[in-house]
Amino acid sequence: MATHIDGKALAAKVKDQVRAEAAKLSRRPGLAVVLVGDDPASQVYVRGKEKDCAECGIESFEHRLPAETTQEDLLALVRELNADSAVDGILVQLPLPAHLDEEQIIDAIVPDKDVDCFHPFNVGRMVIGEPVFLPCTPAGVMEMLREYDIPVRGKRCVVLGRSNIVGKPMAMLLTQSDGTVTLCHSRTERLAEITREADILVSAVGRTRFVTADMVKDGAVVIDVAMNRDENGRLCGDVDFGPVEQKASCITPVPGGVGPMTRALLMRNILTAAQNHQG
Q: Is 176 a catalytic residue?
A: no
Other Cβ atoms closer than 10 A to 39: 17
Taking the alpha carbons at both ends of the chain, their separation in whole angstroms is: 48
What is the dihedral sign for C-alpha 266, 267, 268, 272?
A: positive
d(CA 51, CA 87): 17
What pLDDT sits at residue 44? 83
Residue range 200-230, pLDDT digits in tens: 999 999 999 999 999 999 999 999 999 999 9
Task: Supply the pLDDT for residue 186.
Answer: 84
- The sign of the dihedral angle between the CA atoms of 250, 256, 262, 264 is negative
Evaluate if residue 55 carries a pLDDT over 90.
yes
Q: State residue 40's pLDDT score.
A: 83
pLDDT on residue 1: 86
Does residue 279 carry a pLDDT above 90?
Answer: no
Q: Which of 123-127, 158-162, 231-235 has the lowest mean pLDDT?
A: 231-235
Hey, where are the domains in the chain? 28-110, 136-258
Identify the pLDDT of residue 267. Answer: 98
* CATH topology assigned to domain 136-258: Rossmann fold (3.40.50)
- The one catalytic residue among 52, 93, 112, 247: 93
Please write the tens of the pLDDT for every residue from 130-174.
Answer: 999 999 999 999 999 999 999 999 999 999 999 999 999 999 999
Secondary structure element (H or E) that encloses residue 209, with its range: none
Q: Is 93 a catalytic residue?
A: yes
Residue 236's Cβ-side half-sphere holds a number of Cα atoms within 13 Å equal to: 16
Query: pLDDT, tens digit, for every residue of 90-112?
Result: 999 999 999 999 999 999 999 99
Comparing 28-110 with 136-258, is the CATH topology the same? yes
Give the bridge partners for 158, in sequence order.
Answer: 182, 201
158: helix, strand or coil: strand
> pTM for the complete prediction?
0.95
Which residue of the set 116, 224, 238, 240 is catalytic? 116
Instruction: Convert 194-206 to b/e letters by CB count within 10 Å (16 or more is b).
Output: bbbebbbbbbbbb
- CATH of the structural domain 28-110, one choice from 3.40.50.10440, 3.40.800.10, 3.40.50.10860, 3.30.360.10: 3.40.50.10860
Give pLDDT, residue 263.
Answer: 95
Q: Are 144 and 223 in contact (CB under 8 A)?
A: yes
pLDDT, mean of residues 54-66 = 97
